[in-house]
Amino acid sequence: MNWRLIDTGELDGFSNMAFDEALLESFDPEKSLPVLRLYGWNPPAFSIGRYQKAEEVLDLEKCRANHIPVVRRITGGGAIYHTQELTYSLVCTQKHLPGSLNVKESYKKISFFLIMAYRSLGLDASYALENKNNTEMKLGVKTPFCFAGKEEYDIVIQGKKIGGNAQKRSRITIFQHGSVPYRQNLDYSSSFLLTPLSPEEKESTDLFSQTGILSPEDFKQKILSAFSENLSISLIETELSSNEKALYEKILNEKK
């Protein structure tokens, strides 16, 4: 099976969210090839979950003073500070995934490519539910900051959460995106929260902390290899279609 691959490089937060929305809205479940998108963030930005109120989570005045945009995702979850990271998004249907999977199973199946990529670096990555390093890890606790809480199928390395993933579904279409932090700078990003994080809530990690010097381009290739192997598919690099581009520009104008 073939999937499209779109690598849009580093964009500002509004452009990144407009791209994700355009890919989802233009996707035809009967005709479209499934798509994987890779991207980065420049300048750094906060994204908040679909149902969050930014003014209840972030010090917006401090964000403005530090020229940090705040954008809204189309998925739920807590606030995320996007800086040095690799972000992915994908659009597909159930028929593009191996087996008959419910929501939780599809989320687990899709996200496993990240565990494969981490393990290819020699890291002991697993789902939080399967983590053996901390039998008392609290799961399912909702927090306003994404990296502070752990769900069953969040990915952990040595008991520490790395990145975050979220899924949005319609009757047929599946949209999922997530981030892999190279360096998360948690002390800095959490200083913009209205409620300080406890020491326990700061138990997250990034690739630099786990591996030392790491080439983002090399890791991107590991991500692509793992994604293809996980779903037994081939990736074909493409550009946006004319319809996708027109929709992207329309959504972007509305956001700005």
Catalytic residues: 146
Backbone angles phi, psi at 237, to 5 degrees: -70, 130
Backbone angles phi, psi at 196, to 5 degrees: -60, 150
Q: How many CB atoms lie within 10 A of CB 232?
A: 8
Contact 138, 150 (CB under 8 A): yes
For residue 140, the 8-state DSSP code is S
CA separation for the pair 82, 84 (Å, rounded): 7
Question: Rounded to a whole number, what is the distance in angstroms from the first to the last CA of the chain?
Answer: 37
Establish whether the linkage from the previous residue to 144 is cis, with ω within 30° of 0. Answer: no
> Which residue type sits at 180?
V
The token duo for 85 is 């990271």
Coil, strand or helix: which one is 169? strand
Residues 6+ apart with CB under 8 A from 148: 78, 197, 201, 202, 204
CA separation for the pair 219, 221 (Å, rounded): 5
C-alpha dist (Å) from residue 1 to 14, 109, 141, 182, 238:
32, 16, 38, 30, 16
